[in-house]
Amino acid sequence: MKLDTRAIRYLTAEDWRVLTAVEMGSKNHEVVPTPLISQISGLRGASGVNRSISNLAKVGLIARVKNAKYDGYRLTYGGLDYLALNTFIKRKSIYSIGNQVGVGKESDIYVVADESGKQRILKIHRLGRISFRTVKANRDYLRNRNAASWMYMSRLAAMKEFAFMKVLKDNGFPVPTPIDQARHCVLMELIDSYPLRQVTSIADPPKLYADLMSLIMRFASQGLIHGDFNEFNILVHEETQEPVVIDFPQMVSIDHPNAEEYFDRDVQCIKTFFARKFGFESEEEGPDWKDVKRTGKLDVEVEASGFSKKQAKELDKYLQQIAKLNERDGDEAGGDVSDENDDDQEEEDRGSGMENEDDEQPDNSNLSEDSCEMKNEAETRAPRSGVTSV
Ligand SMILES: Nc1ncnc2c1ncn2[C@@H]1O[C@H](COP(=O)(O)OP(=O)(O)OP(=O)(O)O)[C@@H](O)[C@H]1O
């Protein structure tokens, strides 16, 4: 799903109201009936509403749903992107959109700029897009998921990322400065860097290795385990060669029942990577779970910062389901980024009701042993040009 912002400046105030109405209506309607869109938008006269509906559908921000019992529309990823961008533009967080610099399994990364031209990173969470392609085959798995689960879950993922980044940054951890969050998008500082995965040579591998191991210990002493601490999620600053950590979907508390396992896996990922890539093996045994001493409670602090335990559980459960689907479908789904606009009928396959049935702890067991290898290799260096105004 490419972010095409060409139409954003041409939408009228009425179009925005109608788009917002479709978003609001889809909170409890799989397919939002046209009369409801009209009612929520508060616009007088059917002709204006119909004109806006047709404008929005033409540029793919909403999609007419065929085969439904009644005539209706649903919001597309594009529509949600526009709503989020509009919020950022109004808040003056974003002025222009540049190149896409990353396509992850579950996010798209763009360079954007504010009015002064300062460049930033926009991360658009797109949870579940891979699994959508095979959603029919996996009916049972998703039957009880919310109609708008991709929107809701992508928003939770953005909220989680923003909350963690904020708490970590405020406590002196090397993470990008979080700038803003709206719907399923996070805006953050652009780090002049390469992902460790792409770095071909490093001046001082033992130092970087030691820095990373002490980071794992620092996280743990503050009550946290990254859970996906690998060469894809560590950026190496171009000038200083200092590490900057990104991407926190798997982050868990050291009180998690599987904490030791996740901690050991983070350590092992770094060991394996340094041995393979730089031929470096430390003489020291490396950080040991037994040496972790809690001196802080960032795991608790993050819950108080706007991302609740309940939301964390909802998100973790959904991530586990998606991981299971992807695992089951193997290569068929792997890396196949589906565009949800492709298939008008898929909405039917998603049930309703976002229940939170049990009290399970977040579980990272879906990650395979070699989770260090899980990500797609994408063009990930942030180019500094091509920023166009939206
Ligand atoms: N703040 C940043 N500054 C510079 N580059 C960044 C920044 N954030 C992300 N990137 C680039 O985008 C790439 C992908 O980012 P990230 O790991 O957060 O998402 P993802 O891996 O695409 O998501 P997923 O885990 O769902 O696959 C990074 O490897 C990095 O090259």
> Terminus-to-terminus CA distance in the chain, angstroms?
18
User: In sequence order, what are the beta bridge partners of 120?
Assistant: 112, 189
pTM: 0.83
Q: What is the distance of C-alpha 235 from the center of its chain?
A: 17
Q: Which atom of ligand 1 is nearest to the CA of 125?
A: 26
How far is the C-alpha of 312 from the C-alpha of 314, rounded, in Å? 6
Whether 110 is in the pocket of ligand 1, judged by its Cβ within 6 Å, is no
Contact present, 380 and 198 (Cβ < 8 Å): yes
Return the best residue to mutate from 110, 237, 246 for the ligand 1 pocket (most ligand atoms within 8 A of CB).
Answer: 246
Mean pLDDT over 342-352 rounds to 34
Burial class (CB in 10 A: 0-12, 13-18, 19+), 40: middle
pLDDT at 59: 96
Run of H or E residues at 89: helix 77-90
C-alpha 280 – ligand 1 centre gap (Å): 26
Whether 121 is in the pocket of ligand 1, judged by its Cβ within 6 Å, is yes
Q: β-strand 72-75 against 32-33: which pairing, if any?
A: antiparallel
For all residues of the chain together, what is the average pLDDT? 82
Residue carrying the six token digits 């040009």: 385
Give yes or no: 140 in active site. no
- The string of pLDDT tens digits covering residues 228-285 is 999 999 999 988 999 999 998 889 999 999 999 999 999 999 999 999 999 999 998 8
Mean pLDDT over 193-209 rounds to 93
- The string of pLDDT tens digits covering residues 161-173 is 999 999 999 999 9
For residue 240, the 8-state DSSP code is: T
Whether 63 is in the pocket of ligand 1, judged by its Cβ within 6 Å, is no
pLDDT at 350: 31
pLDDT at 155: 94
Whether 191 is in the pocket of ligand 1, judged by its Cβ within 6 Å, is yes
Q: Which atom of ligand 1 is nearest to the CA of 249?
A: 25
pLDDT at 329: 63
Cα separation values, 118 from 85, 113, 189, Å = 17, 5, 9
pLDDT at 323: 77
Q: Which atom of ligand 1 is nearest to the CA of 380?
A: 31
Whether 104 is in the pocket of ligand 1, judged by its Cβ within 6 Å, is yes
Which one, of 180, 235, 224, 226, lies nearest residue 202 by Cα?
Answer: 235
Residue bearing the CA closest to ligand 1, atom 31: 380
